[in-house]
């Protein structure tokens, strides 16, 4: 038996297979890059949950989707939703990504590893505010200190030890 490294479409297929195994299934992956900082920092581990009838993708959710060329997986925030299609954007990116069908979402970010596993469960109205903030660039890193203050105020730094 040997170890195996997967990339691109194969990795997407396998992650989707694991998440489709059941509503309790989770996939742990490590993100690269700064597009979602400070929510997801470079090399932070994230936990993905499946998209299903019980938990559909909503505005403001951070989701994992295949890149347009399917060569990698992008973890960005949904900033627009319309008729089964959505558009994502990295909080620190200047431009939004292309529109895509919500069926192509691999998973929704459920927890983010920082000093422990932090649940990422926002109420719909909080999600809308965050989506608007991302869309308008308010979540840009220049405003990071203010954001950290607000985050602590809203209690998002609750840590679950596992």
Interface residue list for other proteins (CB under 8 A): 1-6, 10-11, 13-15, 17-18, 21-22, 24-30, 45, 47
Cα–Cα distance list, 134 to 49, 63, 107 (Å): 22, 14, 20
Q: Tell me the closest approach of the beta carbon of residue 136 to other proteins, in angstroms.
A: 33
Q: Whole-number minimum distance, CB 157 to other proteins, in Å?
A: 22
Name the residue nearer to other proteins (CB basis): 27 or 133: 27
The residue (of 26 and 80) whose beta carbon lies closer to other proteins is 26
Question: Which CB, 48 or 122, lies closer to other proteins?
Answer: 48
For other proteins, the closer CB: 4 or 125: 4
Q: How far is the CB of 1 from other proteins (least distance, A)?
A: 5
Beta bridge partners of 109: 48
Minimum distance, C-beta of residue 119 to other proteins, in the bound complex (Å):
14
Q: CA nearest 41: which of 30, 54, 52?
A: 30
- Output the smallest distance, CB 47 to other proteins, in A: 7
Q: Contact, 123 vs 62, CB < 8 A?
A: no
Q: Which is nearer to other proteins, 10 or 52 (CB)?
A: 10
Burial-class residue 97 by CB neighbours within 10 Å (0-12, 13-18, 19+): buried
- Residues 6+ positions from 20 with CB-CB distance below 8 Å: 50
What is the spatial distance between Cα 108 and Cα 77, in angstroms, rounded to a whole number?
10
Three-class secondary structure of residue 120 per DSSP: coil
């Amino acid at each position: 038996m040997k170890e195996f490294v997967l990339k691109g479409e194969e990795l997407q297929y396998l992650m989707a297979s694991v998440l489709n195994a059941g509503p309790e299934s989770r996939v742990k992956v490590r993100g690269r890059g700064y597009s979602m900082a400070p929510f997801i920092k470079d090399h932070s581990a994230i936990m993905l949950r499946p998209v299903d009838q019980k938990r559909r993708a909503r505005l403001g959710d951070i989701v994992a989707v295949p890149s347009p060329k399917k060569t990698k997986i992008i973890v960005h925030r949904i900033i627009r939703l319309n008729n089964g299609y959505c558009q994502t954007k990295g909080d620190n990116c200047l431009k939004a990504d292309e529109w895509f069908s919500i069926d192509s979402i691999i998973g929704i970010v459920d927890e983010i590893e920082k000093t422990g596993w932090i649940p990422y469960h926002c109420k719909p109205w909080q999600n809308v505010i965050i989506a608007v903030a991302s869309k308008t660039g308010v979540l840009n890193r220049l405003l990071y200190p203010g954001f950290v203050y607000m985050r602590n105020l809203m209690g998002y730094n609750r840590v679950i030890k596992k």
